[in-house]
Structure 1
């Protein structure tokens, strides 16, 4: 190719590299049996990413390993005695430790024993998931069903053939005396990357299962409160059909606003948890499908076990979430109906008030016109009297005038002038008030 073809310059979108490389983010580990794995999921909250990253960086500094970059949410490095895979999720971090080497018992001397204890004790957040997993090689002696069950303290064990027969996996989904759950994987013909995928999927199933079930206690706590609020709303709706006075409607509206605030408070407190449960449960289902399980005779599969127990819990959470959303909608509809009734009643009151004000205004106008007429008469009377005084003074001064005749003739003129003057003053006042 001619080098001149790449001589031109195109400006990349600032997010091009980031979104392009997303498909390569968080790759599966390359694992080779035999191997012991310890896995922790620490719930540090949605704002705990920086603290988690700094804690991982402290471990890297202790072992001379390059720390995660600023803003990174993933690290996979060899620390010598162990390998660490750290992943930061939305509200929790997972720490998976790998130690390669032969073992007699898959859950004795676990991988996490190689990690500094003081660093583990200061892990940010609360421990939600803790798992010891043993990955056996194909050349290790096969165990009988009884021996396998004995590894899990004779609890009920579930398991299956996974990855189209490339491995077998067992677990009892119980927390043992050391605080860890147990999983056992036997390599039959796993490739190294395939082994990493199988181990990661099994760990993800337990991690996301626990994260999804965080919503179940919340649903149990919220359900009785929702029942009480639903009964209260039903009572308010019945009151709405019976009340007649506006004061009662306004009181009911205040009660309904208080109810709406309580429903909104519950919604704000549980919205994230229920939505997160849906997402985590979807991931559990996806990881189980990716295992491609086949039944081991006489043993329940991992998917069958989880569907029987996890699915009802998730349905309960979904039911409570739907009840909550339905209650919020019903409260809103009832509030709209009640506000409409109050608005109509207020409009009727306002209409009656305006009619009353119009009647008073018309009465006041009539009284004003009457007063104006009386004012014209009174002012004209005084004006004619002044004319009479003026004519009397002229006659006393020697003028030959008929005082009574001229005073009588002045009456229409004085009345007309007074009336015009009053009208002029009234128009001027009106114009100033309208300006």
Structure 2
């Protein structure tokens, strides 16, 4: 009875559960990004499982959660553009931010991440007596230039400086003062998601900066072309201007290949803001909250991306309008040329008509002359046969009838030809009137 996709879609809500943590825990989180080799994500997780003796995920799986013999727990997730490796280990000492969560992982596996590691962070969840001692001196563990912190979820505190220390792993310190069940695991996951999505969103910033320089060049070239279009002698180089505008349109269209990056950036930005809102932050006197820190540092970068893409669309619209204007002017110039050509054709036809009338007069005289000559020859032949016919008299009497007959035949022929040519003349006159 069930649809083939029912079980899959229903299970999607439970596909990536939060970590269940009780007591202090150490977490190391990596986000791997490689847009040129999507298969590397599955390769990395299978190599890790093989080298550490844990069961690899099933073929085609996008996430797995498995316990390692080395003491840490692996949570792997495959996203659209990146994958994450999260290692968690329970902590029974106070060696915060050490390698507890990644002990036993071969160094060769980490070397495979070279050039692909976008996020690397260590998160410490401190509870019990250690929480009270650590909460009083977060600077002992996080030494960045600006320390951000806040009370979260009504039962703990979070501290971070959003900077990368010499060991390359960003630090988050989470103090469990009164977390309810599973709140600690959910909080840690939200924190590393904030950092991961933040970095993914910022991938659009270098693209936006490069695009801004290209748009500056295109805008300057467009301004120059618009001034040339407005010049007094612009009609003489419309074809050249149209070619130049077409080249600009091609350059702008080539920049449209980044639309996917900007769209993804907007989606990641929404996720970052949603995860921060889920923290339900309360201010700790003397330091900014995470929301305030993001508003100051992260929001301007995202606004830059939005502004550059909006500018790209505006310049593309301006070029399209300029091309339309230039094409309209070219069409008008062509219509004027066609009007002049049709008017010239009409004058030529009229001259030909006058010439035809003159030729017809000469033709009447010539035809009449030849007809009368033939008639005179005939009468002379009859006169030789001793018929009572005077050739000169007969020829003289036939002059008027012959001329009248030739004129009648010529006019009848002309009227017949005019009736045949009338549709073409009407079409020509209408074309001239429309173009004038």
* Fold match (TM-score > 0.5): yes
The corresponding residue for 1:5 is: none
The corresponding residue for 1:378 is: 366
Question: 1:301 and 1:221 mapped to 2: Cα distance?
Answer: 32
Q: 375-384 vs 319-328, which deviates more?
A: 375-384
Within a 5 Å distance, the mapping from 1:142-181 to structure 2 comes to 142-144=132-134, 147-153=137-143, 156-165=146-155, 167-181=156-170
Within a 5 Å distance, the mapping from 1:94-105 to structure 2 comes to 94-105=84-95
1:198 maps onto 2:187 in alignment: yes
Question: 1:279 and 1:141 mapped to 2: Cα distance?
Answer: 35
Q: 1:358 Cα deviation (Å)?
A: 1.7
* Contact preservation (8 Å) 1:383, 1:414: no
* Contact preservation (8 Å) 1:88, 1:94: yes
Q: 1:198 Cα deviation (Å)?
A: 0.6
Question: 2:359 and 2:131 mapped to 1: Cα distance?
Answer: 121
Structure 2, unmatched stretches of 5+, are 426-436
Question: 2:66 and 2:95 mapped to 1: Cα distance?
Answer: 26
The corresponding residue for 1:4 is: none
Seen in structure 2, the aligned counterparts of structure 1 residues 383 and 216 have a Cα distance that, compared at 3 Å, is: same
Q: 1:243 Cα deviation (Å)?
A: 2.5
Q: 1:403 Cα deviation (Å)?
A: 3.2
* Contact preservation (8 Å) 2:26, 2:100: yes
The corresponding residue for 2:406 is: 415
Seen in structure 2, the aligned counterparts of structure 1 residues 381 and 106 have a Cα distance that, compared at 3 Å, is: farther
The corresponding residue for 1:213 is: 202
Q: 1:304 Cα deviation (Å)?
A: 2.0
> Residues 265-293 of structure 1: CA distance to partner in whole angstroms, max 9, x if unpaired?
33x14433333222222211111110111
The corresponding residue for 2:96 is: 106
1:259 maps onto 2:255 in alignment: no
Structure 1, unmatched stretches of 5+, are 1-8
1:222 maps onto 2:231 in alignment: no
* Contact preservation (8 Å) 2:149, 2:158: yes
The corresponding residue for 2:287 is: 299
Within a 5 Å distance, the mapping from 1:280-295 to structure 2 comes to 280-295=268-283
Q: 1:130 Cα deviation (Å)?
A: 0.8
Question: 1:25 and 1:375 mapped to 2: Cα distance?
Answer: 102
Seen in structure 2, the aligned counterparts of structure 1 residues 374 and 223 have a Cα distance that, compared at 3 Å, is: same
Q: 1:182 Cα deviation (Å)?
A: 1.4
> Residues 61-116 of structure 1: CA distance to partner in whole angstroms, max 9, x if unpaired?
5635252342x433333343333222233322222222334343122124234333
Q: Which of 328, 331, 346 is the aligned partner of 2:316?
A: 328
Q: 1:337 Cα deviation (Å)?
A: 3.0
Question: 1:425 and 1:238 mapped to 2: Cα distance?
Answer: 58
Within a 5 Å distance, the mapping from 1:24-423 to structure 2 comes to 24-45=14-35, 48-60=37-49, 63=53, 65-70=55-60, 72-81=61-70, 82-123=72-113, 126-140=116-130, 142-144=132-134, 147-153=137-143, 156-165=146-155, 167-266=156-255, 268-407=256-395, 408-409=397-398, 411-412=402-403, 415=406, 419=410, 423=414
Q: 1:169 Cα deviation (Å)?
A: 1.8
> Residues 173-214 of structure 1: CA distance to partner in whole angstroms, max 9, x if unpaired?
111222211122233333453222111110011111112222
Q: 1:131 Cα deviation (Å)?
A: 0.9
Q: 221-230 vs 156-165, which deviates more?
A: 221-230
Question: 1:362 and 1:27 mapped to 2: Cα distance?
Answer: 91
Question: 1:399 and 1:294 mapped to 2: Cα distance?
Answer: 142
* Contact preservation (8 Å) 2:144, 2:161: no
Task: Give the SS at the match of 2:132.
Answer: coil
* Contact preservation (8 Å) 2:242, 2:326: yes
Q: 1:318 Cα deviation (Å)?
A: 2.4
Q: TM-score, normalised by structure 1?
A: 0.82
Task: Give the SS at the match of 1:159.
Answer: strand
Question: 1:383 and 1:30 mapped to 2: Cα distance?
Answer: 124
Question: 2:355 and 2:13 mapped to 1: Cα distance?
Answer: 88
Task: Give the SS at the match of 1:86.
Answer: strand
Seen in structure 2, the aligned counterparts of structure 1 residues 64 and 158 have a Cα distance that, compared at 3 Å, is: closer
Q: 284-293 vs 307-316, which deviates more?
A: 307-316
Q: 1:132 Cα deviation (Å)?
A: 1.6
Question: 1:112 and 1:405 mapped to 2: Cα distance?
Answer: 138
* Contact preservation (8 Å) 1:57, 1:68: no
Question: 1:187 and 1:333 mapped to 2: Cα distance?
Answer: 60
Question: 2:115 and 2:367 mapped to 1: Cα distance?
Answer: 95
Considering only aligned residues, what root-mean-square deviation do their CA atoms show, in Å? Answer: 3.4
Question: 2:340 and 2:415 mapped to 1: Cα distance?
Answer: 35
